[in-house]
């Protein structure tokens, strides 16, 4: 064994003789605080939020689908590429006409 | 204490699962000595031992429904404590180089005595020796530090370390071998710089 191994062994043996670092019992109020925090974490809020959020998403989806269904013709018309539907005095139509 | 035979651990766990806060308090008080010993042995710099112990207990309660009884409950809690300490040590990333000037007068005396004397370090220098060993271990990677702490300071067997950490025996042996080599290098550098 190398000399440094021996000195490390002597050092560690001395360290082992040191008294325990302090009281190992839980400090006053520690267990109460930890138990309260633990149950607070495990309680409903995340689950309740998740359930509410899921329901809200479903309702929002239904409303969106109903809105599309009710306004389908207007939406379809907006995408029709009918030049006649453009107003004659539409400035954008005039610029396009000048260019062509 | 976790060794207390009178404590009904199984009953207490059952009540904790039924959200009994009194049982949760009893469980914390029962396991606190075990957890605080691990925390004190592996405490990262600038981290309060109470905060770290609280984190460990909160993780334990979060995962308590996953405990199937495959290993003793104290081993299961030890593994949570060990991984939490390692995570905290990893979060610090940088391990400042230890220099002779960083050591207190008592620590340098202890180190000199360990290097030069054929006899053991004096009993009244035990606290300084422990501080010095912790400073040297602080130079190692968290996993390496843990292995040396368990092997050399706590004098645990490879099998016991394997149970406490969840690492297999081969991994413990390999880590111990590498950790010893690194520690020897740090130790040699520290002492050679001073005595050069």
Whether B31 and B103 map to the same domain: the answer is no
Nearest CA of chain B to the CA of A57: how many Å? 28
Whether B88 and B119 map to the same domain: the answer is no
For residues B167 and B106, what is the distance between their CA atoms, to the nearest angstrom? 36
What is the pLDDT averaged over residues A33-53? 75
Whether B76 and B105 map to the same domain: the answer is no
Which of B61, B78, B94 is a domain's end point? Answer: B94
CATH number for the domain that contains residue B148: 1.10.10.10
Nearest CA of chain A to the CA of B85: how many Å? 17
pTM of the model: 0.65
Cβ proximity of B135 and B103 under 8 Å: yes
Cβ proximity of A35 and B54 under 8 Å: no
Domain that holds residue B179: 96-196
Type and span of the H or E element at A44: none
Best to test chain B binding among A1, A2, A7 (most B CBs inside 10 Å): A7
Whether B69 and B141 map to the same domain: the answer is no
ipTM over cut 0.90: no
Which pLDDT score, from 0 to 100, does residue B102 have? 76
Cβ proximity of B75 and B164 under 8 Å: yes
**pLDDT tens for residues B54-79?**
999 999 999 998 898 888 899 999 99
CATH number for the domain that contains residue B51: 1.10.1740.10
Contact map slice: B 133-162 vs A, CB within 8 A: 133, 152-153, 155
Backbone angles phi, psi at B76, to 5 degrees: -60, -45
Tokens of B170: 């081969």
Chain A contact present for B47, CB below 8 A: no
For residues A95 and A100, what is the distance between their CA atoms, to the nearest angstrom? 9
Chain A contact present for B169, CB below 8 A: no
Whether B104 and B195 map to the same domain: the answer is yes
DSSP A53: H
Which pLDDT score, from 0 to 100, does residue B126 have? 82
Which pLDDT score, from 0 to 100, does residue B174 have? 93
Best to test chain B binding among A14, A28, A33 (most B CBs inside 10 Å): A14
Which pLDDT score, from 0 to 100, does residue A4 have? 60
**DSSP states of chain B as a string?**
-TT-TTS-HHHHHHHHHTT-HHHHHHHHHHHHHHHHHHHHHSPPTT--HHHHHHHHHHHHHHHGGG--SSS-HHHHHHHHHHHHHHHHHHHH---PPP-GGGS-HHHHHHHHHHHH-SSPPPGGGHHHHHHHHHHHHTTS-HHHHHHHIIIIIS---HHHHHHHH---HHHHHHHHHHHHHHHHHHHHHHHHHHH-
Whether B49 and B19 map to the same domain: the answer is yes
For residues A36 and A43, what is the distance between their CA atoms, to the nearest angstrom? 10
How many structural domains comprise chain B? 2
Which of B60, B94, B128 is a domain's end point? Answer: B94
Residues 6+ apart with CB under 8 A from B86: B42, B142, B143, B146
**pLDDT tens for residues B148-170?**
988 988 899 999 999 888 889 99
* Residue in the structure block whose two tokens are 């899921």: A54
- Closest by CA to A11, choosing from B31, B32, B119, is B119
Whether B22 and B116 map to the same domain: the answer is no
Which of B42, B71, B94 is a domain's end point? Answer: B94
Residues in chain A: 100
Whether B106 and B89 map to the same domain: the answer is no
Chain A contact present for B108, CB below 8 A: no
Whether B185 and B105 map to the same domain: the answer is yes
More confident residue, B164 or A21: B164
Cβ proximity of B4 and B19 under 8 Å: no
Chain A positions in Cβ-Cβ contact with residue B28 (cut-off 8 Å) = 26, 30-31, 34-35
Ranges of chain B whose pLDDT falls below 70: 1-5, 44-46, 93-96, 118-123, 193-196
Question: CA-nearest residue of chain B to A32?
Answer: B25
Out of B37, B57, B125, closest to residue A24 by CB: B37
Whether B86 and B121 map to the same domain: the answer is no
More confident residue, A71 or B46: A71
Which pLDDT score, from 0 to 100, does residue A1 have? 40
Whether B116 and B172 map to the same domain: the answer is yes
Whether B14 and B52 map to the same domain: the answer is yes
């Amino acid at each position: 064994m190398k000399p440094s191994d021996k000195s490390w062994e002597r050092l560690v043996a001395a360290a082992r003789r040191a008294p325990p670092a302090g009281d190992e019992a839980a400090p006053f109020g520690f267990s109460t605080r930890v138990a309260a925090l633990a149950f607070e974490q495990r309680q409903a809020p995340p689950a309740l939020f998740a359930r509410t959020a899921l329901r809200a998403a479903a309702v929002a989806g239904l409303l969106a689908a109903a809105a599309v269904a009710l306004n389908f013709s207007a939406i379809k018309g907006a995408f029709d590429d009918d030049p006649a539907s453009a107003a004659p005095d539409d400035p954008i139509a005039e610029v396009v006409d000048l260019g062509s | 204490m976790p060794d207390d035979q009178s404590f009904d651990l199984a009953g207490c766990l059952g009540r904790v699962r039924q959200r009994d806060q009194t049982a949760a308090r009893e469980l914390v008080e029962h396991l606190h000595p075990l957890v605080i010993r691990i925390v004190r042995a592996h405490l990262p710099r600038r981290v309060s031992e109470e905060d770290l112990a609280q984190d460990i207990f909160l993780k334990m309660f979060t995962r308590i429904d996953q405990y199937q009884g495959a290993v003793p409950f104290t081993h299961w809690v030890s593994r949570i404590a060990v991984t939490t300490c390692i995570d905290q040590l990893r979060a610090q990333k940088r391990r400042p180089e230890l220099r002779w000037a960083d050591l207190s007068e008592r620590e340098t005396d202890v180190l000199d005595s360990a290097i030069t004397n054929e006899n053991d370090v004096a009993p009244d220098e035990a606290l300084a020796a422990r501080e010095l060993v912790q400073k040297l271990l602080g130079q190692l990677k968290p996993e390496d530090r843990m292995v040396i702490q368990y092997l050399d300071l706590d004098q645990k067997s490879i099998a016991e370390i394997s149970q406490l950490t969840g690492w297999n025996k081969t991994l413990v042996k390999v880590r111990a071998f590498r950790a010893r080599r690194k520690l020897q290098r740090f130790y040699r550098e520290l002492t050679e710089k001073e005595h050069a």
